[in-house]
Amino acid sequence: MTSANNNTFSSNLGAILAAVGSAVGLGNVWRFPYICGKYGGGAFLLIYLLFVFLLGGTMMMAEFIMGRHTHHTPSQALPMLAPQHKGWRFVGHFGVLVTFVTLSLYWVISGWTTSYLTDAATGTLTHLGATTDAVTNYFNSFASSTWHPLVFLLVFGLIAMAVIMGGVRNGIEAVSKILMPLLVLLLLALCVYALSMPGSAKGLSYLLLPDFSKINAEAVLAALGQALFSLSVGIGMMIVYGGYIPNEDNLLKTTIWITLSDSIIAILSGIAIFPAVFSCGMEPAEGAGLVFKVLPVVFNSMGAVGQYVSIAFFLLLVMAALTSAISLLEFLCVWLTEVSGIRRPLSAIICTAASLAVAVVLSLSNGILGHITIMGRNLFDLTDLLSGTYMFPLCALGLCIFFGWEMSPDDIRDELSNHGTLRIPYYPALMFLIRYIVPLALIVVIVSGML
Ligand code: PFF
């Protein structure tokens, strides 16, 4: 296969699976259930879905259009699309920075996940028994130790780097085509098992029956942030993937498929987790530790089958994390290749090494570097807060204002209609959303985050 062929996805299905691979990640299986649990289940789910389809889907279309039109990362795509205002390139650069920070955090949590997979397989988790204290202490001493998390984050990083070195079609697409169907199968099996547990109905109704009394401004903001993060939109990731989408693909259909798949996988993760948690008499409102501190207790109270269920679950989490991490790494790698002219393999090595170096510091900040605090937070928590609460929505705001007000409407229509071959009756609605509704919602999120 020529290297030119290796630079685009081979088909519409390949493009969809790779973009779904980017979207479906720790955000769906680790973050969504605990945030949904924290803000009251079903009511949060409804608001989240509204944001996913109305705002997230709109942003995704905008990014695909910019990417397929320019075949560049945001740093170069924005000045190309609006040559009269080159200052917009800073929004693109900012997207690269947010991607770098997100990837560094992602390495750390992916490392935890990989370590828990081996712990599940070797029986270490099972030996902790079904007591909350033992499982919580295990997690705390693991995350704050020096070498244990580092080994796993480095191994995970090297695997992702190997995929990126394989290229777009032979690396990213090939891995996504194998891992995504496998992930869905595993998730379905876990859902069936969770639903068969006694008392599971309570967990299901928690997830699906809306109770609006728990909804406040904070929950609405969390839903919007989660919608952007989960769909991988707002930082220009889908501008990079948009460049790989074949020209004859219908961008509306592609967006709908990805958005639907991402939401269904988040809901299925809730179905796999909540009934099991309730069935063991526990609460899902534990927060970020739900997967690492609550679920092992749940697995250990299932009896002999618990170990297999925990292996399946952490395998699922590792696969989801891998396809998202490779998309973040791809973004950085293409950007570096673009600005420096170096070849892809070297670029992959440099981007992996730099982001892993930051990840090492973030990981150590949970332990021996824990004394370094800024605004009362260690470096890991601070970076998490900055990237999720401020940088993501801020970058999304820049991109959507650029798209709605700066990019030529002719170029947008041309790309959406595949050069006039598709009807696009939804065009005015799309532009209304991206010009007014999405920026307004993002401004509300950013301002209230600051307050
Ligand atoms: N969407 C991924 C998740 O849900 O875990 C996270 C992510 C990947 C965000 C890639 C942004 C991105 F560019």
* Residue 289 dihedral angles phi and psi, to the nearest 5°: -85, 5
Instruction: Lowest mean pLDDT of 9-18, 136-145, 293-302, name the range.
Output: 9-18
CB 389 within 8 A of CB 449: yes
Q: DSSP secondary structure string, 37-96?
A: HHTTTHHHHHHHHHHIIIIIHHHHHHHHHHHHHH-S-HHHHHHHH-TT-GGGHHHHHHHH
State the pLDDT at residue 5: 59
pLDDT exceeds 70 at position 7: yes
Q: What is the pLDDT of residue 214?
A: 81
What distance in angstroms lies between residue 328's CA and the mean position of ligand 1's atoms?
7
Name the average pLDDT for the chain: 91
C-alpha 321 to ligand 1 mean position (Å): 9
Tell me the CA–centroid distance for residue 231 and ligand 1, in Å: 6
Q: Is the pLDDT of residue 429 over 70?
A: yes
Of 324, 332, 334, 387, best ligand 1 pocket probe by most atoms within 8 Å of the beta carbon: 324
pLDDT at 2 over 60: no
Q: What is the pLDDT of residues 365-399, one digit of tens each?
A: 999 999 999 988 999 989 988 887 788 889 999 99
Write down the pTM of the prediction.
0.93
Stretch 70-77: mean pLDDT: 95
CATH architecture classification, 5-450: Orthogonal Bundle (1.10)
Percentage of residues of the chain with pLDDT beyond 90: 67
Atom index in ligand 1 nearest the CA of residue 25 equals 5
CB within 6 Å of ligand 1 — which residues? Answer: 22-23, 25-28, 99, 102, 229-230, 232, 235, 237, 324, 327-328
Give the amino acid at 5: N
123: left (phi over 0), alpha (psi -120 to 50) or beta: left
Residue 62 has pLDDT above 90, yes or no: yes
- Whole-angstrom distance, CA of residue 395 vs CA of residue 379: 21
* Ligand 1 center to 22 CA (angstroms): 6
Higher pLDDT, 213 or 284: 213
Mutating to test ligand 1, I would choose from 327, 334, 387 the residue with most ligand atoms within 8 A of its C-beta, which is 327
Which residue from 309, 307, 303, 391 is spatially nearest to 105, judged by alpha carbons? 391
Task: Work out whether the CA dihedral 29, 31, 32, 35 comes out positive or negative.
Answer: positive
Distance CA 205, CA 126 (A): 29
Q: How far is CA 283 from CA 28, 210, 219, in A?
A: 19, 17, 18
Which residue has the CA at smallest separation from atom 11 of ligand 1?
232
Q: How far is the CA of 360 from the centre of ligand 1 (A)?
A: 20
State the closest ligand 1 atom to the C-alpha of 262, by its place in the atom list counted from 1.
4
CA 55 to ligand 1 centroid distance, Å:
16
